Chains A and B, each alone.
Chain A
Amino acid sequence: MAAEILKTKAEQGFADQFTAGKSALPGAGNAWAEGLRDAAWETYASVGLPHARVEEWKYTDLRRLLSEAYPPAPALAEALNGDDVAKALGSVLAGLECHRLVIVDSQFRPELSDLGGLEGMGDIQSLGDQLSSPADWLKQTLTQITPQQNDTVIALNTALMSGGITLRIGDNVVLDKPVHIVHVVAAKEAASVTLRNVISIGAAAKVCLLESYVSLADTPLQRNAVSELIAGDGSDVQHIKFQNENMDSSHLTSWMTRLGADVTYKAFQFSIGAAVARNQIFVTFAGEGSTSHVSGAVMGRGKQHNDTTMVIDHAVPGCESREFNKLVLDGSARGVVQCKAIVRKHAQKTDGHQMAQALMLSEMAEFDSKPELEIFADDVVCGHGSTSGQVDDELMFYLRARGIPEPQARALLIAAFVGEAIEKVSSEPIREAFRSMSETWLEGEGA
């Protein structure tokens, strides 16, 4: 009886792209890669873009928010130089001491990257090349990391991915500088960019990864990016994202992370850009004794929509998870935090806690928080909390009684509020960069 649901314009657009473009996508001709894409397309096409009646997407109705599908960014992007990349990043992040990998649209651009010092530590390839002659490790990794392959946005990504990188860090490697994966868009016309990064961190390695997503101009962009990450036993991984895409962009990113045993995983996402952003973070504990701390700061104004959705899967005993998100919402911005913690039957001694806090700078701003605990084990400690409020009058009075004028007092308190989230970033230079960018955001307050 199920009537064929009419495709939206965007859905029709993606369908046309897949049919017409599939033979030109990387990995075409390789049976494994084609098989992956076809299966993913079927998964996606059976349901189409997520909409408000899909529980996980109830606050972010992509059917409504994506009015059309932009064509994929042309494979041979405009000539960009290092200055362009620096400009897109902003001076604070451009100055970061790091190993830098630059991805323009979806193409890895070694000539813009700075990989000095990584020799012998790891291996970096373009995903496109890898898909044409996939190594065994990739076959065992790509789409295998967490159970969220059937999420429609991820399935769409698998079907249409046109680039990205693979990064493998060897066992016991300790990197002294962050690896900064810069995603910059250079397309001159409205474009979509669908890319996939696959990252494997060796046992006992210690790595700080920063993914930044920035725009060079105000060309409208539809981004669908997925990062799959495996953290080997005993590794120590900081996984950080900075998102400042232009206000005509929609930004869909999904992190799928699998942690081995005794891993310390610290994720942080700092989002200030894009008209619509959906940040999905899926963490699966696959080995005992690991810790996952996922935190974030969102600063939104105007009509920005920012949705952070997390699923933390305690599949094994004895792990600790923390999720801590802070949002500053001005104008008629909307912030969403959803976090589902699953504690499987055998995952005893799980210790999980989540907190989401919003500071509302305007009466029109909106905050939705949806914590979910699915606990099947009995010996666990789990909790959640959520708050939302305005700038505290008592604190304001105290600061003003000390001579600090109102706008400055307000900025100080807002900075302090997000500062408590930014503090979670262990890497000092990145933490300070975020602090400084949060202050810059505040200077644009009311502007």
Chain B
Amino acid sequence: MLEIKNLHVKIAEDDTEILNGIDLTIPKGEVHAIMGPNGSGKSTLAYVLAGKNDYEVTEGSISWNGDDITELDPDERAAAGVFLAFQYPIEIPGVATMTFLRTSMNAVRKARGQDELSTPDFMRVVKAKAKELNIKDDKLKRPLNVGFSGGEKKRQEILQMSLLEPTLCVLDETDSGLDIDALKIVAEGVNALRGPERAMLVITHYQRLLNYIVPDMVHVLSEGKIVRSGGKDLALELEKSGYAEYGEAAA
């Protein structure tokens, strides 16, 4: 279970508060969606869950399956099962995709007390997952994400997610930039990971994604606070009414 309690976050460099007391609980096995206007703090929340040190938690805590992870380094969180699919995946020139995937998988396996994968096993699992996500072999031969289209990068994120087998999946606008077919493929990839041991937090601007990845709960984030929570129909309502009401409410 993910438990976020009274989370206050500011930018480490200055004193700008971005999250002002977030309370959110996601039981294992559930998928929760977060929607909200641009700049409301959605990505910040995602980054803070992953442990980015540009942000400072000034109050409150985050725990995953009973362990407080607020102070853990990003790689320790990954080992503990946290995975963030980035809104803007990064290009890393000079690092071959396969080298990266292998280093990442083995680091996580090692930290979790599992054996490293042999080369043939590694190749097999990567090829199989890539195929499911419709990622061509030549994309795996290039440096990580370099020259990939927006949609191709998003698919790489989901590939990494399925390889690392996280238990807490945070997807930050994974749907933006995807064409309709890719959206279905990615949603299938995500749904395949749904299970009683996993919790997911799906950030999106579009109700459409939630037709494919049906959430248990939808939360509205506005100005660094959750201002409303509801069932999956809340997304439909927001699609019609927009966020004006919450902006004013919070102001």
Residues of A within 8 A of B (CB): 393-395, 397-406, 408-409, 412-413, 415-417, 419-420
Contacts and interface: CB of A to CB of B under 8 A. Distances in A.
Given A400-B78, A408-B103, A395 B92 contact: yes
Main secondary structure of the interface of A (DSSP, over half): helix
B94 A400 contact: no
B145 to A, nearest CB: 9
Contacts of B143: 416
Contacts of B103: 404, 408, 412
Contact of B108 (A403, A409, A416): A403
B78 A403 contact: yes
**4 closest A-B pairs by CB:** A416-B94, A403-B78, A403-B108, A400-B74
Contacts of A409: 75
A435 to B, nearest CB: 11
A409 to B, nearest CB: 8
Nearest to B163: A402
Contacts of B111: 403
Interface string B83-107: 1101001101111000110011101
B78 A416 contact: no
Contacts of B45: none
Given A394-B90, A408-B103, A412-B103, A402 B95 contact: no
A394 B93 CA distance: 13
Contacts of A412: 95, 99-100, 103
A404 B104 contact: yes
A402 B164 contact: yes
A409 B53 CA distance: 16
A400 B77 CA distance: 9
A408 B107 contact: yes
Contacts of B108: 402-403
Contacts of A415: 94
Given A395-B92, A401-B51, A404-B103, 18 more contacts: A394-B90, A397-B53, A398-B86, A399-B92, A399-B104, A401-B50, A401-B52, A401-B77, A402-B100, A403-B105, A403-B107, A404-B104, A404-B107, A405-B75, A405-B107, A412-B99, A412-B100, A412-B103
Contacts of B44: none
B204 interface: no
A420 B93 contact: yes
A342 B50 CA distance: 52
A402 B78 contact: yes
22 contacts: A397-B50, A397-B52, A397-B53, A400-B78, A401-B52, A401-B78, A401-B84, A402-B100, A402-B107, A403-B78, A403-B79, A403-B108, A403-B111, A403-B164, A406-B75, A408-B103, A412-B99, A412-B103, A413-B92, A413-B95, A415-B94, A416-B92
Contact of B93 (A401, A403, A416): A416
Given A397-B52, A398-B86, A412-B103, A404 B92 contact: no
A398 B84 CA distance: 9
Interface string B11-53: 0000000000000000000000000000000000000001111
A207 B179 CA distance: 50
Interface of B: 50-54, 73-75, 77-79, 83-84, 86, 89-90, 92-95, 99-100, 103-105, 107-108, 111, 143, 160, 164
B160 A420 contact: no
The residue in B50, B83, B95 that gathers the most chain A C-beta atoms within 10 A of its C-beta is: B95
A400 B94 CA distance: 17
A402 B94 contact: no
A194 to B, nearest CB: 38
Given A403-B107, A412-B103, A395 B79 contact: no
A404 B94 contact: no
Contacts of B93: 416, 420
A395 B75 contact: no
B95 A403 contact: no
A403 B104 contact: yes
A417 B90 contact: no
Contacts of B77: 401
The residue in B53, B74, B89 that gathers the most chain A C-beta atoms within 10 A of its C-beta is: B74
Nearest to B75: A400
A413 B96 CA distance: 11
B92 A406 contact: no
The residue in A405, A415, A419 that gathers the most chain B C-beta atoms within 10 A of its C-beta is: A405
A105 to B, nearest CB: 38
Nearest to B52: A397
A413 B75 CA distance: 16
Contacts of A403: 75, 78-79, 104-105, 107-108, 111, 164
Contacts of B83: 401
A412 B86 CA distance: 20
Contacts of A399: 92, 100, 104
A398 B95 contact: no
Given A403-B111, A404-B75, A408-B103, A395 B90 contact: yes
A389 to B, nearest CB: 13
Nearest to A398: B90
A201 B55 CA distance: 60
B73 A400 contact: yes
B137 to A, nearest CB: 21
B201 to A, nearest CB: 15
Contacts of A404: 75, 103-104, 107
Nearest to B85: A401
Contacts of B100: 399, 402, 412
Contacts of A417: 94
Given A417-B94, A419-B94, A406 B73 contact: yes
Contacts of A402: 75, 78, 100, 104, 107-108, 160, 164
Given A395-B90, A403-B75, A406-B75, A416 B51 contact: no
